[in-house]
Structure 1
Amino acid sequence: MNVIDFRFRPNTPEVINGIANSAMFKDLCEAIEFHKQKPEPFEDIIKGLDENNVVKAVITGRDCETTYASMANGNGAVLDFCQKAPEKFIGYWGIDPHKGMDAIRDLQKAVTENDSIRGAAVDPYLAKIYPNDAKYYPVYAKCCELEIPIIFTTGTASFVPGAVIDHVAPRYIDFVARDFPELKIIMSHGGYPWVNEAIIVTQRNKNVYMEISEYELWPQAEAYMQAANTIIGEKLMYASAHPFIDYREQLEKYANLPFEKDVYENVMYNNAARVLGLK
């Protein structure tokens, strides 16, 4: 079956080196032995995705220049990948909320001038503010105007210096979903460790979706599967978090998770296709 990967970065040498040496993720990379991840030529990455039936992959940009003096995995690389393989990659533009209107103008330019940029991405724990902080609200308004979704990076922010985990608690995304009902929201990494909270925020808001990459087998993760088979079967989407986790390993993992057959098909393709406006 065809697959859409909602969180993917090509593991080119530049990306691997950029992640491993970034101010945010250097300690994390050492802890998980990220150096063992093998970079691949761009052509081989595309070939591998084709061989594994990954027909589309969303690449999220990241801009945290104000707080971490870093644009690792930045928007320039996202645009470059999408332009090299527009049939394969969809870009989500990274936003630094502290840049104010400059960030808003940058997002509008990126979306209106590049067909492959179809969403925005924010990292509240790297911005060191909550998702419902006033600095983010012009971003959400612009996304509604441009009719594009937004990805919130959540998760534990392990080993990231200066990061506060509470900044990515799903309860704050609930405020955003209420204030911007037209905005399609994707919680990346499942709001872990607030598993039940993330499930309820996803279930109760028509405009909220979720992917649980990296946390599928962590403690409490069985609740994600139970929820997918009962109350959020049309809200949960597959994502690999490649290259932190190899997408081939993730595909095998998901094939063995206890999803019902129709739910599995929704998770692997249908839900993401609907969010992305694909057939």
Structure 2
Amino acid sequence: MVPLPRVIDGHCHLASSRCIPHGFFLGVAQNIARKMPRHAPPPDLDKLTRMLISQYEDHDADKLVAKMDEASIERTVLLAPDFSHVFDAQYSYEDVARQHAAVRARHPGRFHVFLGVDPRWGRQGCDYFEKAVDEYGFEGLKIYPPCGYSPSDAVLFPLYEICAAKGLPVLLHTGPTTPTLQFDTAAPSLIDGAARRFPAVNFILAHGGVNFVEQAKLMCNYRPNVYLDISGFPAVMAPGGWRAHLADLFAQGINHKIIFGSDWPVFSMKDDLKAMTAGLLEEGGPLARLPRPAVEAILAGTIESLLPARAQHPVSTAKAARHETNAREIASNEC
């Protein structure tokens, strides 16, 4: 019997309302309301927003780890975007960093973290990002261009310089998002300037296998340091659904540039993690006919190769205890 391939989820989020502002949830609720039938009663946006927030109470990632185990996911990359310049947020990016560090300490060896710091924080943000990488061992930078900046904007260069010096990848959101943010800064092609200027930095186009796919494929084909992930694939509405869509993507000759990502918990009410991985690997699934090396690269090998070498070393016991204490302090400050 051929053993199942290893799986590393390259795009996931901590399901914690301490890490995502209320305004983001409200925008998602507006998107849901727009898709409801016109003859249906007017949706209660406040109720929808509360329902969404209720799905984000796994502050310690205990439920997520249980889901990972069910799906045979070895490790997961947690993305922690910084929305502090566009939404009123109860928690700062420092709080979010400490929360993620506490989760890593609670579940040693299961999580990597890409921390987001809005570039408009300037030197203060860069210094904190570098400190968090050094102290907590975070392994990458998460940027969210729909917050109002191009991923090739010079304001980001100091952060990219840190990533180049430390061998850290950068993952950037592409495609649509909550309607309360910008869409004109979310095209994959906008990374081209940064990719040329920082050839030592590897850039990952989040959702690049689902949104603006032609642009994302072009970037992956012709920029050695640009990759894409398939997060968001359960939402594909193309003919044949996500299976046919991904089968076509996997036939484009860029499988060494493609990374599995679940975008959990965004689709937790539609598909479980186990259903996602099983659907990819099942007989007739989009990975079933690929050579074993390609499957292994998509599911784990490529994202693992982009992580810094030190990413395999867990935090010390002393640091673990300190990080968990920090998380409890954050929780005690909740209103």
| Band the TM-score falls in, shorter-chain normalisation | 0.7 to 0.9
- Cα distance in structure 2, aligned partners of 1:219 and 1:7: 22
Aligned residue number for residue 190 of structure 1: 208
The equivalent of 1:151 in structure 2 is 171
Return the alpha-carbon distance in structure 1 between the equivalents of residues 92 and 67 of structure 2.
Answer: 24
Q: Tell me the distance in 2 between the aligned counterparts of 1:43 and 1:164.
A: 33
Q: Render the CA deviation track for 1:157-201: whole Å, top value 9, x for unaligned.
A: 143x1x221201111112111111000111111175311111110
**Gapped runs of 5+ residues in structure 1?**
none
Q: Which residue of the partner structure matches residue 129 of structure 1? A: 149
Q: Which amino acid aligns with 2:85?
A: T
Give the distance between the partners of 1:57 and 1:248, measured in 2 at CA.
14
> Does structure 1 residue 237 correspond to structure 2 residue 265?
no
How far off its partner does 1:224 sit? 5.0
Contact 2:206 2:231 (C-alpha < 8 Å) held by counterparts? yes
2:96 counterpart of 1:77: no
Determine if contact 1:108/1:146 at 8 Å carries over to the other structure: no
Alignment of 1:23-102 (within 5 A): 23-29=23-29, 31-32=31-32, 35=52, 37=55, 42-70=61-89, 74-102=96-124
* Equivalent in 255, 262, 275 of residue 281 of structure 2: 255
Q: Percent identity?
A: 22
Alpha-carbon contact 1:151-1:187 (below 8 Å) kept? yes
Following superposition, the deviation at residue 77 of structure 1 comes to 2.2
TM-score, normalisation: structure 1: 0.86
> Is the 8 Å Cα contact of residues 195 and 223 (structure 1) preserved in structure 2?
no
| Structure 1 residue 215: Cα displacement | 3.4
| Cα-to-partner distance string for 1:204-224 (whole Å, 9 max, x where unaligned) | 111111112113533386565
SS of equivalent to 1:95: coil
Query: Pairwise CA RMSD of aligned residues?
Result: 2.6
SS of residue matched to 2:255: coil
2:232 equivalent among 181, 203, 214: 214
8 Å CA contact 1:63, 1:75 repeated in 2? no
Judging changes above 3 Å, is the alpha-carbon distance between structure 1 residues 46 and 108 closer, same or farther for their aligned structure 2 residues? same
Q: Give the number of aligned pairs.
A: 271
For residue 16 of structure 1, report the CA deviation from its aligned partner: 4.8
CA–CA separation in structure 1 for the residues paired with 2:76 and 2:167: 20
TM-score, normalising length: structure 2: 0.73
Question: 1:184 & 1:228 partners in 2: Cα distance?
Answer: 21
Question: In 2, distance between residues paired with 1:85 and 1:54?
Answer: 14
Check the 8 A contact 1:111/1:118 in 2, yes or no. Answer: yes
SS at match of 1:91: strand
The whole-number CA distance in structure 1 between the counterparts of 2:123 and 2:130 is 11
Q: Measured at CA, do residues 172 and 38 of structure 1 come closer, stay the same or move farther in structure 2, by a change above 3 Å?
A: closer
Measure the CA separation in 2 of the matches of 1:4 and 1:230.
22
Higher RCO, Cα 8 Å, sep 6+: 2
Per-residue CA shift, 1:118-167, capped at 9, x if unaligned? 111100102x11111111111111110121111101121143x1x22120
Quote the Cα distance in structure 2 between the aligned partners of 1:224 and 1:231. 13
Which ranges of structure 2 fall in alignment gaps of 5 or more residues? 33-47, 313-335
What secondary structure, in the 3-state scheme, does the structure 1 residue paired with 2:256 have?
A: coil
Query: What is the alpha-carbon distance in structure 1 between the residues aligned to residue 71 and residue 92 of structure 2?
Result: 27
What amino acid is aligned across from residue 136 of structure 1 in structure 2? Answer: L
Distance 2:182 2:63 in 1: 37
Cα distance, 1:254 vs structure 2: 2.2
C-alpha deviations, 1:214-257, integer Å up to 9, x for none?
13533386565334334211111111111112323322332254
Residues 253/77 of structure 1: CA separation in 2 closer, same or farther (3 Å cut) = farther
Aligned to 2:131: 109
Pairing 1:4–2:8 present: yes
CA distance in 1: counterparts of 2:291 and 2:154, whole angstroms: 42
